[in-house]
Copies of this chain bind each other. A is one copy, B any other.
Amino acid sequence: MTAPLCAQDYAEQARARLDPSIWAWLDSGGADEHTAHANLGAWPALRLRSRALRPLAGAHTRLTLNGRTLAHPILIAPTAWHGLVHPDGETATALAAAATGTPYVLSAQSGTAIETLAALPEPPHLWFQLYAQTRREDTLALASRALRAGARALVLTVDAPVNGVRNAEQRSGFSKPDTIRSVHLDGLSPPAARTAPPGGSPLFDSGLLDTAPTWDDVAWLRHRLPAGTPLWLKGILDPEDARLALAHGVDGLIVSNHGGRCLDTLPSTCEALPAIAQAVAGRIPMLVDGGIRRGTDILKALALGAQGVLIGRPALHALAVGGAPALAHLVQILRGELEVAMALTGCRTLADVDAGVLY
């Protein structure tokens, strides 16, 4: 097996190494996977505009986010249970993130405590993902714990009040081994799985949705967090929701369709991004995930209005292939590809990247 040269190489090698049920859990999308495929297809379908002979001396990929300078616009997306793909689990991810200056959005379903990652000799730049818990106080307690441990931003995921129709994962027979636990959720009143069991009693009649989070929960959390805590919403795909987010005082948006794992036939994030960028009009920063596999994809995401991108599945692919070094390698590949794309479209810095780089 040759050395991986790009994100897709890592995906193929991960597939060859992983148990098929873990691969199905990791890689499959919701229902018929239209949205998961659309995510992958949309970025390459955009055409770039080549520019020749522009000055490139002093080129760099730096940006500022949440008041901090980042070396490049790539983040690790929150995904559950990294221990399923590599024995070092989230620790490997954290090491790679730290080594490459990559912010790491730790999943609420992490198998490793945020305190453990924060205590590494060289800790990464950590953000923490929240799901609204059944009891608001539990959500706040999670947030407070993450901030105490050093999380620099909170990311409330809002696009999955119910589980998606995950047929491919169901067919694979995937079930989480007991040795992997969502350690941050221990001791919290577990929210009932908000899903319709196949063939069982319908979801709506169960009353499960009576506790689904609403904008009121965002307002409640916003006001109880310490002043200055960056609160992001993840899973915004509609301009009207972006406007509501602005009205609720959030600090950033992650445009996402949950990797196409939740509701099938949603648009790709690439399609959805421009209208949201127009609604936000630069008032708060935006990140985007879903289908980012090349540096050219990153350049296009920035051209459409995002400040940066998150990689979810690709990070797990690299972890599965070679742990921390492989993930660090992947980030460097993507960063290098972004730099090539900037040079060939005549962009010296990320500030030069706008809609003008698109054909």
Decide yes or no whether A186 CB sits under 8 A from chain B.
Answer: no
Contacts of A204 in B (CB 8 A): 59-61, 339, 342
Counted per complex, copies of this chain come to 4
- Is there contact, CB below 8 Å, between A294 and B47? no
Nearest CB in chain B to that of A209: its residue: B56
Query: In the complex where A218-B53, A340-B165 touch, is A5 in contact with B47 (Cβ < 8 A)?
Result: no
Is the Cβ of B48 less than 8 Å from the Cβ of A266? yes
Residues of B within 8 A of A264 (CB): 44, 294, 296
A interface residues, how many (CB within 8 angstroms): 90
Task: Return the CB mask of A327-359 against B: 1 if under 8 Å, else 0.
Answer: 001001101110111111100000000000001
How far is A250 from B354 in the complex, measured between Cα atoms in Å?
29
Q: How far is the CB of A343 from chain B (nearest CB, A)?
A: 5
Cβ proximity bits A1-31 to B, threshold 8 Å, 1 near / 0 not? 0110110110000000000000000000001
Docked pose: A196 CA to B336 CA in angstroms: 6
A44 to chain B, nearest CB (A): 5
Q: Are A57 and B210 in contact (CB under 8 A)?
A: yes
- Contact present for B44 and A203 (CB under 8 Å): no
CA distance A341 to B163 in the complex (A): 10
With A170-B5, A195-B340, A332-B199 already in contact, the answer to whether A52 and B241 are too (CB < 8 A) is yes
A228 within 8 A of B: no
Does A214 touch B at the CB level, under 8 Å?
yes
Q: Which residue of B lies closest to A166 (CB)?
A: B5
Most buried by B among A196, A204, A341: A204
The answer to whether B267 and A158 have CB atoms under 8 Å apart is: no
Q: Would B262 and A344 count as touching, CB distance under 8 A?
A: yes
Inter-subunit contact B159/A333 (CB<8 Å): no
By a CB distance below 8 angstroms, the chain B residues around A265 are: 44, 46-48, 296
- Known: A2-B171, A209-B343; 6 extra A-B contacts, CB below 8 A, are A49-B237, A57-B210, A199-B333, A200-B332, A204-B342, A265-B296
Q: Which residues of A contact B (CB under 8 A)?
A: 2-3, 5-6, 8-9, 31-32, 34, 44, 46-61, 158-165, 167, 170-171, 194-200, 202-205, 209-210, 212-215, 217-218, 233, 235-238, 240-241, 244, 257, 262-267, 271-272, 294-296, 329, 332-333, 335-337, 339-345, 359
Sample of 9 A–B contacts (CB below 8 Å): A6-B165, A44-B264, A47-B266, A48-B263, A50-B237, A54-B214, A161-B343, A162-B340, A263-B344
